[in-house]
């Protein structure tokens, strides 16, 4: 099932009566990012994937001074229409920040959170990485930006072993690359997001924070700090996998993801009669 609930393009996979899992990508914004997870989820769960506004099939011009809060509000409107009960939210990097804002502002919509290589405040290393990416896009264009992107997302050994796939992905992404303004405004939004500790303390959804020690974009200590500021959270550190660990370590990641979902099944009273049977 697909839809274009304004302003977001979305797809629903799996049984209509299953508990809903929402997958939210990082800066790239494409729901296609989660292709390695769909086979593991769709036998049991109703999986909702979407393209962030201003990316992929969610067409539109990202406004100046765009915010993570606005991204969460856009998704919240979609979930109010498409989810009959609280959802399990899985977010990668920027997607994780969106999930945190959604859970804080609309707690009735979120049953649990799985946050992958996310953070609670800016850090000097990531700021340097985003500065380089911004300059590449401004001065060298989308092709150079995409050529450099794997260096921030994947471990070197994985890049060397998957060069053909990366070339194909780069060609595909270049064909549907968002406007320069959209990319830069989304990048500025994630860099500006810095909730106060008391705001993070308002997130009461059961949360697993997952980080990789070899993440070249977001230091794992950022996830550690984030987990320490959430009242109902645990943290899992993986030795390797890079920033996009759900792509590079599919089997291990999917196992952790499914275990998290099993631990936080919705209580029967939160389900419809058909789902509870």
Instruction: Assign 2 a pLDDT band (cuts: 50, 70, 90).
Output: low
**Model confidence at 44: pLDDT above 50:** yes
Residue 195 per-residue DSSP state: -
190 is written with which tokens?
């994630």
Which of 151-172 are b and which e, b meaning 16 or more Cβ less than 10 Å from the residue's Cβ?
Answer: ebbbbeebbeebeeebeebbee
Average the pLDDT over 168-177 and give the result: 96
| 75-128 pLDDT, tens digit each | 999 999 998 899 999 999 999 999 999 999 999 999 999 999 999 999 999 999
* CATH T-level fold of 2-276: Rossmann fold (3.40.50)
pLDDT for res 84: 86
The whole-chain average pLDDT of the chain stands at 95
Domain boundaries, the chain: 2-276
pLDDT for res 71: 98
Instruction: Assign 277 a pLDDT band (cuts: 50, 70, 90).
Output: very low
Q: What is residue 233's three-state secondary structure?
A: strand
pTM of the full predicted structure?
A: 0.94
Average the pLDDT over 146-167 and give the result: 98
pLDDT for res 4: 53
Q: How many helices (H) and strands (E) does the chain have?
A: 13, 8
Say what angle helices 180-192 and 124-140 make with each other, to 10 degrees: 170
The strand order across the sheet containing 206-212 reads: 2-3, 9-13, 46-51, 20-24, 87-92, 110-116, 206-212, 233-238
CB 33 within 8 A of CB 51: no
| 224-252 pLDDT, tens digit each | 999 999 999 999 999 999 999 999 999 99
Query: How far apart, in Å, are the Cα atoms of 18 and each of 88, 90, 208, 273?
Result: 11, 16, 21, 12
| 189-220 pLDDT, tens digit each | 999 999 999 999 999 999 999 999 999 999 99
CB 8 within 8 A of CB 51: yes
pLDDT for res 267: 84
């Amino acid at each position: 099932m697909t839809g274009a609930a304004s302003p977001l393009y979305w797809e629903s996979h799996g049984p209509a009566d299953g508990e809903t899992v929402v997958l939210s990508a990082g800066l790239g914004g494409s729901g296609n990012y989660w292709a390695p997870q769909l086979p593991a989820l769709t036998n049991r769960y109703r999986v909702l994937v979407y393209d962030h506004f201003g990316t992929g099939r969610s067409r539109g011009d990202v406004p100046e001074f765009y915010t993570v809060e606005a991204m969460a509000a856009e998704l919240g409107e979609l979930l109010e229409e498409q989810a009959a009960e609280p959802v399990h939210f899985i977010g990668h990097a920027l997607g994780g920040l969106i999930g945190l804002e959604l859970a804080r502002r609309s707690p009735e919509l979120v049953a649990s959170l799985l946050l992958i290589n996310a953070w609670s405040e800016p850090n000097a290393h990531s700021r340097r990485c985003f500065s380089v990416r911004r300059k590449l896009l401004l001065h060298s264009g989308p092709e150079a930006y995409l050529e450099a992107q794997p260096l921030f997302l994947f471990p070197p050994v994985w890049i060397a072993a998957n060069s053909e796939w990366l070339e194909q992905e780069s060609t595909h992404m270049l064909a549907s690359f968002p406007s320069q303004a959209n990319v830069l405004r989304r990048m500025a939004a994630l860099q500006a997001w810095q909730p106060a500790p008391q705001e993070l303390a308002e997130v009461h959804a059961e949360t697993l924070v997952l980080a990789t020690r070899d993440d070249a974009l977001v230091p794992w200590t950022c996830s550690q700090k984030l987990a320490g500021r959430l009242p109902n959270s645990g943290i899992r550190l993986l030795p390797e996998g890079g920033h996009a660990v759900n792509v590079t370590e599919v089997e291990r990641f999917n196992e952790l993801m499914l275990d998290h979902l099993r631990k936080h099944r919705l209580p029967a009273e939160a389900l419809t009669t058909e789902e509870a049977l």
